[in-house]
Amino acid sequence: QKEVEQNSGPLSVPEGAIASLNCTYSDRVSQSFFWYRQYSGKSPELIMSIYSNGDKEDGRFTAQLNKASQYVSLLIRDSQPSDSATYLCAARSGYALNFGKGTSLLVTP
Amino acid sequence: SAVISQKPSRDICQRGTSLTIQCQVDSQVTMMFWYRQQPGQSLTLIATANQGSEATYESGFVIDKFPISRPNLTFSTLTVSNMSPEDSSIYLCSATPIGGSEETQYFGPGTRLLVL
């Protein structure tokens, strides 16, 4: 079973703070990982992908990957109310993606 | 990236009937995928649609229930056959663009299906 686990939340952070979202995966063969943002009633939107151990930064977002620990995280700096959404972690297995159940993030003004 | 559209955006259907969902991409793509997202749940892969070959179905999904077509590099359909209320879900098409990162998938807006 190829599991991707996320804390369902909700994770509540004040505006301007750093939001930290975490994900673990079970399939050691997985080589690439993705974070999607999904607003209620909308389809998933790709935020970041990461393939190598370490950090990858894109604007306010930083993805972190530790393959030895089978752990992926997403940091959102200077969180805004518009960041309130469900964040889905996905691990690529073959051609397809295995998704976690998502973490609900609420950024309060 | 790729812009993906789906039709219909939503539908209400009677049990025992079938619905065909269309997925159109604005550029040629290699892989196309069909996912299901049930209320409050994450995405579950139904099948991978390859152009020129049979779709590959995930465990728990069968061709008789979810027949898929992929006639060209920009279009695919998913049919939900002999529907029951348990099929009520959001059905999402996704695709991997040719020329982009082989591993990046973009999603369509989804089709919201309610079966009565």
Residues of B in CB contact (< 8 Å) with A are 31, 33, 41-45, 48, 58, 92, 96, 101, 103-110
Please give the mean pLDDT across all residues of chain B: 91
pLDDT over threshold 60, residue B102:
no
pLDDT value, residue B1: 73
Residues linked to residue B57 through DSSP beta bridges, in sequence order: B47
Q: Which residues of A touch B44 (CB under 8 A)?
A: 99
- Read off the tokens for B90: 């959001």
- Between strands A61-66 and A54-58, the pairing is antiparallel
Q: Which residues of B touch A49 (CB under 8 A)?
A: 101, 103-104
Q: Looking up tokens 């997985």, which residue turns up?
A: A30
**pLDDT class for B30, splitting at 50, 70, 90?**
confident
B89 burial level (CB within 10 Å; 0-12, 13-18, 19+): buried
pLDDT over threshold 90, residue B65:
yes
pLDDT value, residue A30: 84
pLDDT over threshold 60, residue B4:
yes
Distance CA A48, CA A34 (A): 6
A32, B103: Cβ pair inside 8 Å? yes
Q: How many CB atoms lie within 10 A of CB A11?
A: 16
Backbone angles phi, psi at A55, to 5 degrees: -110, 150
Q: Which residues of chain A have pLDDT under 50?
A: none
Please give the mean pLDDT across all residues of chain A: 93
User: Smallest CA–CA separation between A34 and chain B, in Å?
Assistant: 8
Looking at per-residue confidence, does B42 or B103 come out higher? B42
